[in-house]
Structure 1
Amino acid sequence: MLFWSVISAAFIGPGTVTTCSLAGASYGTSLLWALTFSILATIVLQETAARLTLASGKNLGEIMLLRHGSGGIWICRLLAFGVILGCAAYEAGNLLGAVAGLKLIAEPPSWILSIAIGIAAYFVLAIRNISILTRLLGLIVFILGFAFILVSIQAFQDPSRIVVNSLVPNFPENSALVITGLIGTTIVPYNLFLGSGIGQGQSVGEMRQGIILAVLIGGLISMSILLAGTLISGDFSFQNAARVLGQSLGPSGEILYAVGLFGAGFTSVVTAPFAAAITAKSLLSVSPIQTTYVWKSVLCFGVIFGLLQIKPIPVILAAQVANGLLLPFVTWQLFRCVNDTNILPEKFINSKVQNIFLILIFLVTLFLGGNSIFRALI
């Protein structure tokens, strides 16, 4: 479970904290169902990507190259460029989110915090043992999760309503973009390459248990953030959220929110370069030294923009377009690969139920991708 919690660490970042808190503050618990769908979809996609690797001995990028032949080289290169671009673009936001968490409880200059977080992330990424790295990130996820769960306890006024809203779709007025954000911030394309790249050496049973537990815990954390958001009144900002929670829960509420926000930011500061490196290795078959250059470049990109206190807006817009195209494409590739008897033994091929789930997820990601591109263009 700790090993696979790197998947949760990758999708729970400042963007998740912002989107889930905003959803809770604006619509109460009525959008919990979107997180339920996201959690189930993430489990299905991650299990499929990891099963491909365990059954074939090849990672997702190698399998795609095998299926497409020599013409697939350009497809893999474009995919790699899109995923690495997205990791680099969001790295600055991850770092600024971690800084914002620390600024809620301390007042050192932001540039000092940016450098300190960048150095800490560098040393964590320098750990060459993937097993140790993923477990370390898993522990941080549990710490931030514990903080948000404690904060959200105050929102458990009507448990039956929470259960109903977690299972029954509801579309409040003007909630379409927030619903899209809740799903899009949980289902991310680079996580599929990350999960495929680290899963070798496990049995299918171990992999399934680890992914299900880790993603469920990540989903529980996201739901806790949304529930904590229901306690927030007025315009949403990290400062306002911490202040309101401090008023509701006492000083501990503000501190716990700060710890959770910092933990979400820091784990994403580490996992974005890590995922970029795994993706480069998977899709481009680069050497270990070149892989090191990839994660160092992504980390430096984030630190530089963090020091400048700006987000790389044009690059983020480009990344949104890239991710909008990547998510349905990668989902469709997974569907094709996991039903290909030339790649997988018969016992690892998808069942009819699994295929129905994958097709449904493909249609939703196609909508999300189109919406992401539309939002970027306007």
Structure 2
Amino acid sequence: MAKSISIRSGLSSVLFWSVISAAFIGPGTVTTCAMAGSRFGPALLWALTFSTLGTIVLQEAAARVTIASGLSLGELLTKSYGSRIRWVMTTLFIAVALGCAAYQAGNILGAVSGLSLLTADFAFLSPQVLTLLVGTACVLLLWQGSTRLIANFMGLIVFLMGIAFAYVAAGTSPAATHLLTALVVPTLPTDSLVLVIGLIGTTIVPYNLFLGSGIGQTQSLSEMRWGIVLAVLIGGLISMAILLSGTLVTGEFSFVMVADTLAARLGNWAGALFGFGLFAAGFTSALTAPLAAAITAKSLLGWQENSGAYRAVWLVVMAVGLTFGLLGVKPVPIIILAQAANGLLLPIVTIFLLIAVNNKTLLPAPYRNRLWQNIALLLVVGVTAFLGLRNLWLALSA
């Protein structure tokens, strides 16, 4: 880290890169982490340690390539391989857009579920009304077009959400030695493999690489590293706090059960804070999924920001999410297809990234990977390839 970076610019960078944390902390993360804590206690915390560090490695590499070359990840791929892989670029965009559209419904429904817990006494606020309110707020924020404003707004929401879950997690009081062991020692309790894959997969997500490379061109290397490391660490700590909060829950898992259990154990404030955290997770992800799809289109297909095509991408993603949200159903077939597509997408993107950060033609020596960075990236690529094949197998089996 450059020592010349000021506290103000450092905090601003952390807030800016909190968009990455907001993207991976969604209702799916809340559900997976809380369920992992409910079923296995803190034993699976190590999966979040790995995935948090893996996210830092991947995001730093993607942003470093962009800062050094002046090109986003998609533009770099196009320049390196030209029209020969135009079909690959189109396929990658379709896969990302499909995944964003499919999971947007879950994001909106998660935000509405959190609001429903907070507004249970107001009968006129039906789920449909809350869905329209959430959707309208997202559209207004996205329409104004400033990714920095959106990033800063979501950073504040993530920070408040972190306080909420950390406050609840503090009530679990696990033994310090047990907690430290769970953070660094991998264990696989019986029937825990699917949740381990889920914990890693909800943190290391492929579209975040395009999202990060598409918004970070204006930063210096030191600002980028400072911002990504701290922002992702904060996101990882929030995920860990959610998992620890889940250790208080026993019996059948549901959002209402979690809120009621926390309220019974710690007081009404804990249930209310969980409701706020769930809303914040859903709302921030409901912003980042359409934004990530649009920025991916800009990166891979060259569509300019604020153009009609660019806005059409995020509007379609938002419309799909709102439609299924208003119907109160989940697009299960589309989610299964998106799971298969994104299962293949993640290792492919990480392999392209590994090649890019070692490209002597496009990157000056100070920006290329060192040996330890290549080892770390290869480890992440190996694990993500396993996750991708595993997710594909699960999707095909389903």
State the TM-score, normalized to the length of structure 1. 0.99
1:100 to 2:113 alignment: yes
> Which moves more between the two structures, 32-41 or 123-132?
123-132
1:310 to 2:329 alignment: yes
Name the residue aligned to 2:86: 73
Deviations 1:49-92, CA, capped at 9 Å, x for gaps: 00000000000000111121211211110000000110000000
Name the residue aligned to 1:289: 308
Within a 5 Å distance, the mapping from 1:154-303 to structure 2 comes to 154-287=171-304, 288-303=307-322
Contact 1:114 1:306 in 2 (8 A): yes
What is the alpha-carbon distance in structure 2 between the residues aligned to residue 105 and residue 69 of structure 1?
A: 52
What is the alpha-carbon distance in structure 2 between the residues aligned to residue 212 and residue 224 of structure 1?
A: 18
Deviations 1:197-249, CA, capped at 9 Å, x for gaps: 00011110100000000000000000000000001011111010000000011
What is the alpha-carbon distance in structure 2 between the residues aligned to residue 23 and residue 355 of structure 1?
A: 31
Aligned AA (2:144): I
Name the residue aligned to 1:5: 18
Helix, strand or coil at the partner of 2:130: helix
Helix, strand or coil at the partner of 1:264: helix
> Which moves more between the two structures, 214-223 or 139-148?
139-148
What is the alpha-carbon distance in structure 1 between the residues aligned to residue 16 and residue 323 of structure 2?
A: 30
Q: 2:147 aligns with which of 112, 120, 130?
A: 130
1:355 to 2:378 alignment: no
Name the residue aligned to 2:32: 19
Aligned AA (1:38): S
What is the alpha-carbon distance in structure 2 between the residues aligned to residue 191 and residue 127 of structure 1?
A: 21
Helix, strand or coil at the partner of 1:111: helix
What is the alpha-carbon distance in structure 1 between the residues aligned to residue 174 and residue 353 of structure 2?
A: 41
Helix, strand or coil at the partner of 2:16: coil
Aligned AA (2:319): C
Deviations 1:117-172, CA, capped at 9 Å, x for gaps: 00011111123222111101100111111111111001123122111110111111
Helix, strand or coil at the partner of 1:28: helix
Q: 1:58 aligns with which of 71, 82, 102?
A: 71
| Identity level (%) | 53
What is the alpha-carbon distance in structure 1 between the residues aligned to residue 147 and residue 392 of structure 2?
A: 34
Deviations 1:98-119, CA, capped at 9 Å, x for gaps: 1111111224211111111000
What is the alpha-carbon distance in structure 1 between the residues aligned to residue 21 and residue 262 of structure 2?
A: 24
Q: 1:30 aligns with which of 11, 36, 43?
A: 43
Aligned AA (2:393): F
Deviations 1:160-199, CA, capped at 9 Å, x for gaps: 2111110111111111000000000000000000000000
Aligned AA (1:333): F
Report the count of equivalent residues: 378
What is the alpha-carbon distance in structure 1 between the residues aligned to residue 22 and residue 371 of structure 2?
A: 31
Q: 2:353 aligns with which of 327, 331, 334?
A: 334
Aligned AA (2:67): L
Contact 1:127 1:133 in 2 (8 A): no
Aligned AA (2:46): W
What is the alpha-carbon distance in structure 2 between the residues aligned to residue 293 and residue 159 of structure 1?
A: 50
Helix, strand or coil at the partner of 1:310: coil
What is the alpha-carbon distance in structure 1 between the residues aligned to residue 312 and residue 233 of structure 2?
A: 33
Aligned AA (2:389): G
Name the residue aligned to 1:46: 59
Name the residue aligned to 1:116: 133
What is the alpha-carbon distance in structure 2 between the residues aligned to residue 82 and residue 162 of structure 1?
A: 38
How much has 1:289 moved relative to structure 2? 2.0
Contiguous gaps of at least 5 residues in structure 2 = 1-13
Q: 2:387 aligns with which of 357, 368, 377?
A: 368
What is the alpha-carbon distance in structure 2 between the residues aligned to residue 342 and residue 319 of structure 1?
A: 35
How much has 1:294 moved relative to structure 2? 0.6
Aligned AA (1:195): G
Contact 1:10 1:268 in 2 (8 A): yes
Q: 1:88 aligns with which of 71, 95, 101?
A: 101
What is the alpha-carbon distance in structure 2 between the residues aligned to residue 131 and residue 328 of structure 1?
A: 28
Contiguous gaps of at least 5 residues in structure 1 = none
Aligned AA (2:234): I
Aligned AA (2:259): A
What is the alpha-carbon distance in structure 2 between the residues aligned to residue 156 and residue 37 of structure 1?
A: 23
Aligned AA (1:144): M
What is the alpha-carbon distance in structure 2 between the residues aligned to residue 210 and residue 160 of structure 1?
A: 30
How much has 1:279 moved relative to structure 2? 0.3
Helix, strand or coil at the partner of 1:200: coil
RMSD: 0.8
Aligned AA (1:156): S
What is the alpha-carbon distance in structure 1 between the residues aligned to residue 369 and residue 238 of structure 2?
A: 30
